[in-house]
Structure 1
Amino acid sequence: MTSPEDAFRQTGWPGLRARLFHLYFVLRRPMTLGVRGLIHDTASRSVFLIRHTYVPGWQLPGGGVEVGETMNEALARELAEEGNIALTAPPVLKSMHFNRRSSHRDHVGFYLLEHFSQTAPKLPDHEIAEAGFFPLDRLPQGTTPATLRRIAEVFDGEQPSPYW
């Protein structure tokens, strides 16, 4: 027969120890996680880009994954907020990237979406200065280097970079 102390050592302490280590690493070295979506309108061969009010350049819509949220949930939320875009099929995770320009612990999941709906064009607000679909051969001036790399990886067969 197993004593309560032995049972705790066998089941309780490892679980508690794992939770304490997890808490330590969250507090000591928190990792941030974000998502970006390449919304591709296959009929017009165009992609959806946004321009924020607080950073320069045209980029893919997306943002941070909140506590308790999956990456797919975060992507759906960000697309709705930044583009009035709703997913009509599951997004395809194309690659993961380390965003060393943001922090030493920031990672971005990059998705391709070809099945979506847009309820109305996105109008400017406090976060989004401009948004719209652009033909692949006529991307707006000021499209960020990271956005251009992701587009080349998808449409030109470029090898995905591990860095955003």
Structure 2
Amino acid sequence: MANPEDAFRQTGWSGLRARLFHLYFVLRRPMTLGVRGLIHDAANNSVFLIRHTYVPGWQLPGGGVETGETLAEALARELAEEGNIALAAPPVLKSMHFNRRSSRRDHVGLYLIEHFSQTAPKQPDHEIAEAGFFPLDRLPEGTTPATLRRIAEVFRDEPTSPYW
């Protein structure tokens, strides 16, 4: 039988060293990760957009992934907070984008949601000024360029940009 101290020396130090290197890179090169949901109501050929109180333009709902959350969990939380929307089936990851306008380390996952429910229309609050479904051929004035690009990539088969 192997000596437990020898086993620790063989695996424990390397495991500790790996954790220390990981901590160093987290502190030295922190990366942020976000999610956005492209909620498509196929029956009405419309998409759900929000307008924040603190930034201009209409955009897709979403936000940052919190520590300990998966992307799907963050998406479900953000959709509930920003739109009273619940997922009725797993969302489909369509693309990942580098959001260089936000920071040098920000990435955003775009999900397509076609199976959902909305408990009630989203009412304005401290974060969301307006929210609603808009026909794809009549998006509101002020829809952000990134939102327009994501819609074109998904519904008009435009090439997917690596940038948000």
Shorter-chain TM-score tier = over 0.9
Question: SS at the partner of 2:97?
Answer: strand
Match of residue 131 from structure 1: 131
Question: SS at the partner of 1:159?
Answer: coil
Kindly, what percent of the aligned residue pairs are identical? Answer: 88
Which AA in structure 2 matches 1:56?
P
Shift of 1:14: 1.2
Match of residue 102 from structure 1: 102
Which AA in structure 2 matches 1:104?
R
Q: How many residues align?
A: 164
Shift of 1:9: 3.2
Q: Greater shift after overlay, 54-63 or 20-29?
A: 20-29
Whole-angstrom CA distance in 2 between matches of 1:158 and 1:13: 50
1:71 aligns with 2:71: yes
Which AA in structure 2 matches 1:109?
G
Which AA in structure 1 matches 2:71?
M
Match of residue 23 from structure 1: 23
Match of residue 55 from structure 1: 55
Deviations 1:99-126 (A, max 9, x none): 1111111110100000000000001000
Whole-angstrom CA distance in 2 between matches of 1:52 and 1:154: 23
Question: SS at the partner of 1:147?
Answer: helix
Structure 1: 4+ residue segments shifted above 2 A: 1-9
Shift of 1:13: 1.3
Question: SS at the partner of 2:138?
Answer: coil
Match of residue 45 from structure 1: 45
- RMSD over aligned Cα, in angstroms? 1.1
Question: SS at the partner of 2:124?
Answer: coil
Whole-angstrom CA distance in 1 between matches of 2:7 and 2:77: 44
Pairs within 5 Å for 1:107-118: 107-118=107-118
Question: SS at the partner of 1:139?
Answer: coil
Shift of 1:8: 2.5
Consecutive unaligned residues of structure 1, counting only runs of 5 or more, are none
TM-score by length of 2: 0.97
Consecutive unaligned residues of structure 2, counting only runs of 5 or more, are none
Question: SS at the partner of 2:159?
Answer: coil
Whole-angstrom CA distance in 2 between matches of 1:60 and 1:38: 6
Question: SS at the partner of 2:55?
Answer: coil
Match of residue 7 from structure 1: 7
Which AA in structure 1 matches 2:160?
P
TM-score by length of 1: 0.97
